[in-house]
Structure 1
Amino acid sequence: MRIILFLTIALLSFQVSGRNLRLILDHNSFYSPENGHYLEVYMQFLASSVHYADVEGKKQGEVAISLILSQEDKIFDFDKYSLKTTPLGDTLFEDFYSIRRFSVLPGAYQLELSVVDKNNTDDTLTFMQDIVVEDQSENLGFSDIGLIETLSKSNGNTEFTKNGMEIIPRLSTYFPVESEKLIFYCELYNTNLLGDSARFVLRYFIADKNTRKVVDQYMGIKRLSPASVIPLLYSFNIDKLESGEYYLGLELLDDEGIVIRQKQLFFDRFNPIITDIYGDVNETILDPIFMKEVPGDSLFYYLESLIPISTRIEEQNIIEVLKKQDTTVAQKYFQSYWKKTAQLKPTEEWLKYKSLINTVEKEYGTSLMPGFRTDRGRVFLKYGPPNAVVSRPNESNEYPYEIWQYYKLQQFSNKRFVFYNPTRVGNEYVLLHSDMPGELYNSRWQQELRTRGNTVNTRSRTNDEDIMEGGQRW
């Protein structure tokens, strides 16, 4: 499974001039009959997070990058290099990218990334990720799907060149309202195994993640001829695609319309110009049996409590409903939320979640913050109770802290969340570090547990207005 990671380092809030070195990391694997399997590792550095130095009257940033690819604790390949931004004479900095390719064999690998901002060496990132390269040499199938930010004809052979095109990857699977096109690249392998006279077609489409139905006008069909490798480069105009969760689907069909192979890539779309949540809510008829379990004086409290288990689009909708402060609209939205979330037993599932809300309120709520807004409460609601907890409330040389461990979390194993109390007051623990994709990653968490006398940035989420939930981030 392809994972997109958002990496960040937590800085103390008193470092006003400091930046948080941030990048988006992704990878895809491909196959070439001439050169074998290869892995592409992509990095997009957020320009505003890098320190800049004066170079001949212009501003320029530079990062040192180390990539180590290991297999069974032995180094398989590595690359160390520096990456400079384009020198600029003003402050309009643009994100900058890097691609590195590694020749690999099918199998499991571990990728280790280290990045240092050369203009501020205190700003560093380190991360390790497991990667599996599937054998495509003799199998009929698709490569990974890669989204594309910009596409143009190549004037030379650079690291961004593929099949004669200059391709800048898109590493976020979130498409805001400003995005009008979805462009993607993929490769289809070994259709020649079907025979030179085989007849088959490629169907590519956008489908609703929940209903699995293809969205109207978002489907293309292409008849293809057998070959060892077929490059697939297509696009959709998504300016009228409503807000929601979707997946980009690729299907290889035989002459009888039977699906032989398929590939999917999930993404989020936010398009408030098209979406009218109030129009949908107004059609909802309130069920008295369901609404009996939602106390009127706690309606907005329980509505906000849905945010930890909601998608980014749902979160935006909830915020809009909360702003409106219309009881009827809130009731209808709340009911429609659970009707969509648990179609068969919405009332029963809501009551289960309500019990969890009461638990986190009792365990983690404070005089200033309800339990579901706290970091521990949010993690508990989103991922469930941890399998093991290490609690250290009275260490002499460290802030009070807790480490939560999950043996199995979604498709991941042995994930940890580190919470600490930097104020040493009451029950106000905040998230300091986690190795779960999508959560705050802090390579210096052990050192920061021992930091004293500093004002600490207690913002736990790494949500960035430009880097949203469609991929998973660090």
Structure 2
Amino acid sequence: LRQVRLTVVPGEYELQIVMPLSGQDPVQASRDVIIPDYSQQESCVLSDITLASRISPSEDREDPFFKNGLYIRPNASQLFGEGAANLFYYAEAYNTACAASGTDEYTMLIYVSEANRPAPLTGLEKRSKRRVRPTDVLVGRFNLAPLVSGTYFLRMVILDNANESKVEQARKFFVFNPSADSALAQPVAATETFETSGYATMPEDEVEQGLEHIQIIATEQELRRIRNVEDLNERRRLLMDFWLVRDPTPRTGVNEFRDEFYSLLMYANERYSVQRIDGWETDRGRVLIKYGRPSAIEQHQYDRGFKPYEIWNYNNISGEGQAMFVFADLDGFGDYELVHSTVAGERKLPDWIRRISESY
């Protein structure tokens, strides 16, 4: 994960990110960005909210993740839960005098809500009186361990003395928490229908993200259905059916296969995210999710004459037996690409040792 800072004057911009790939077309992404002129604002303003996996005091001004005396490591995937229960947040409030009504204090409300209900969740709400200043740094954390899997929002509201909202800001995030899901799970009837399931009302963006995830392990027939089905309800059914046929205990409210899948996905995001690429989208993340945790990993970070590389060994992959994967940081960006594997259908390069040499 890397961060780049650009100093620009207020205005409207298009941000483009281009990442070159060895022997392939570059990966590109773009988005429109509006930089407000906070100095000209008379009303209260809230910046965008940064969701982070860690925030701690820091004096290292050279660190790209340093800001206002803090080390802020963004959670690019916006996915929290098992193994990553703490949601850290950072934002800035400007011109807060507009909410003070002649006093030297204003009220800040920060809370977590469900995606379809803007009300604060119990135990996940912070209300505080804060001193008026031109720029106020808002930083803190919430423990999301009690939350079940789903889509949520972190919301910030500046309130005036009459408890009326002056300005609001929100940031969506996702929780995958099988431990909390299991605690609430109830036996389900074998005849449960789509209409009575949670998939029937699943938000479209959550459906699309779920369908992106499962393509790692989907069959060719399932991939064709994902590409060809356009109706939202049918895509919801597709996602439900995908997990249902893989559920080892369909009469319970817990799908152990799905839980393990997302446990590996979250681990991949934590360990292998690079630049703006989530860990599950990298070669190491895909292999981890598809084949499980390797039996052993050989790390070669500083071998003279070679680019950094890793060898993953598996004692037994179904239908393959013992297997090996070789990943290398070919471009120096920290994204280890798969250069060779002994598994059928994966990339093969018998002379892989030459490919990872510095002289290639």
Question: TM-score, normalized by length of structure 1?
Answer: 0.42
Verify the 8 A CA contact 2:53 2:86 in the aligned structure 1.
no
Verify: 1:188 aligned to 2:39, yes or no: no
Verify the 8 A CA contact 2:155 2:171 in the aligned structure 1.
yes
Verify the 8 A CA contact 2:151 2:174 in the aligned structure 1.
yes
Instruction: Please list the CA deviations of residues 354-376 of structure 1 after superposition, one character each: whole Å capped at 9, or x if unmatched.
Output: xxxxxxxxxxxxxx847x95243
> How far apart, in 2, do the equivalents of 1:163 and 1:268 lie?
27
> How far apart, in 1, do the equivalents of 2:288 and 2:119 lie?
30
- One-letter code aligned to 1:116: P
| Secondary structure, aligned partner of 1:185 | strand
Verify the 8 A CA contact 2:52 2:87 in the aligned structure 1.
yes
Verify: 1:247 aligned to 2:177, yes or no: no
Distance change (3 Å), C-alpha of 1:148 and 1:132: same
Distance change (3 Å), C-alpha of 1:99 and 1:221: same
Distance change (3 Å), C-alpha of 1:383 and 1:231: farther
Verify: 1:376 aligned to 2:252, yes or no: no
> How far apart, in 2, do the equivalents of 1:464 and 1:206 lie?
31
Once the two structures are TM-superposed, the CA of residue 228 in structure 1 deviates from its matched residue by 0.8
Distance change (3 Å), C-alpha of 1:259 and 1:176: same
The residue aligned with 1:212 is 118
The percent of aligned pairs where both chains have the same amino acid is: 22
Verify: 1:144 aligned to 2:48, yes or no: yes
Query: Higher RCO, 1 or 2 (CA under 8 Å, sep at least 6)?
Result: 1
Verify the 8 A CA contact 2:58 2:71 in the aligned structure 1.
yes
Instruction: Please list the CA deviations of residues 232-263 of structure 1 after superposition, one character each: whole Å capped at 9, or x if unmatched.
Output: 00101112222121100111111221111111
Verify: 1:170 aligned to 2:75, yes or no: yes
> How far apart, in 1, do the equivalents of 2:45 and 2:187 lie?
42
Distance change (3 Å), C-alpha of 1:383 and 1:130: farther
Verify the 8 A CA contact 2:53 2:84 in the aligned structure 1.
no
> How far apart, in 1, do the equivalents of 2:161 and 2:195 lie?
46
Distance change (3 Å), C-alpha of 1:193 and 1:255: closer
Once the two structures are TM-superposed, the CA of residue 220 in structure 1 deviates from its matched residue by 0.8
Distance change (3 Å), C-alpha of 1:160 and 1:339: closer
> How far apart, in 2, do the equivalents of 1:147 and 1:465 lie?
24
Greater percentage in strand: 1
> How far apart, in 2, do the equivalents of 1:213 and 1:116 lie?
44
> How far apart, in 2, do the equivalents of 1:144 and 1:246 lie?
16
Once the two structures are TM-superposed, the CA of residue 210 in structure 1 deviates from its matched residue by 1.4
- One-letter code aligned to 2:190: T
| Secondary structure, aligned partner of 1:157 | coil
Instruction: Please list the CA deviations of residues 177-196 of structure 1 after superposition, one character each: whole Å capped at 9, or x if unmatched.
Output: 11120000000000134555
Distance change (3 Å), C-alpha of 1:226 and 1:111: same
The residue aligned with 1:104 is 9
Distance change (3 Å), C-alpha of 1:383 and 1:108: farther
The residue aligned with 2:355 is none
Give the one of 259, 262, 269 matched to 2:165.
Answer: 259
| Secondary structure, aligned partner of 2:231 | helix
Verify the 8 A CA contact 1:147 1:170 in the aligned structure 2.
yes
Distance change (3 Å), C-alpha of 1:228 and 1:271: same
Distance change (3 Å), C-alpha of 1:168 and 1:336: closer
Verify the 8 A CA contact 2:81 2:144 in the aligned structure 1.
no
Once the two structures are TM-superposed, the CA of residue 176 in structure 1 deviates from its matched residue by 3.8
Verify the 8 A CA contact 1:251 1:259 in the aligned structure 2.
yes
- One-letter code aligned to 1:183: F
Verify the 8 A CA contact 2:88 2:142 in the aligned structure 1.
yes
| Secondary structure, aligned partner of 2:4 | strand
Distance change (3 Å), C-alpha of 1:337 and 1:241: closer
Distance change (3 Å), C-alpha of 1:278 and 1:373: farther
- One-letter code aligned to 2:123: Q
The residue aligned with 1:161 is 66
Verify the 8 A CA contact 2:97 2:106 in the aligned structure 1.
no
Distance change (3 Å), C-alpha of 1:336 and 1:376: closer
> How far apart, in 1, do the equivalents of 2:200 and 2:233 lie?
21
> How far apart, in 1, do the equivalents of 2:26 and 2:56 lie?
33
> How far apart, in 2, do the equivalents of 1:176 and 1:382 lie?
27
Unaligned runs of 5+ in 2: 204-219, 235-277, 291-360
Verify the 8 A CA contact 1:245 1:267 in the aligned structure 2.
yes
> How far apart, in 1, do the equivalents of 2:60 and 2:184 lie?
51
> How far apart, in 2, do the equivalents of 1:341 and 1:122 lie?
36
Unaligned runs of 5+ in 1: 1-43, 45-96, 283-325, 343-367, 385-437, 442-461, 467-474
Distance change (3 Å), C-alpha of 1:227 and 1:104: same
Within-5 A mapping of 1:353-432: 369=221, 373-378=224-229, 380-382=230-232
Instruction: Please list the CA deviations of residues 135-181 of structure 1 after superposition, one character each: whole Å capped at 9, or x if unmatched.
Output: 32213110000012222322321222111112222211111411120
- One-letter code aligned to 1:250: M
- One-letter code aligned to 2:86: K
Instruction: Please list the CA deviations of residues 317-355 of structure 1 after superposition, one character each: whole Å capped at 9, or x if unmatched.
Output: xxxxxxxxx633x23x6424477569xxxxxxxxxxxxx
Once the two structures are TM-superposed, the CA of residue 98 in structure 1 deviates from its matched residue by 2.7
Within-5 A mapping of 1:84-95: none
Instruction: Please list the CA deviations of residues 348-406 of structure 1 after superposition, one character each: whole Å capped at 9, or x if unmatched.
Output: xxxxxxxxxxxxxxxxxxxx847x9524323x22499xxxxxxxxxxxxxxxxxxxxxx
Give the one of 187, 190, 203 matched to 1:327.
Answer: 190
Aligned length: 222
| Secondary structure, aligned partner of 2:227 | helix
The residue aligned with 1:223 is 129
Verify the 8 A CA contact 1:154 1:166 in the aligned structure 2.
yes
> How far apart, in 2, do the equivalents of 1:156 and 1:208 lie?
37
Distance change (3 Å), C-alpha of 1:180 and 1:278: closer
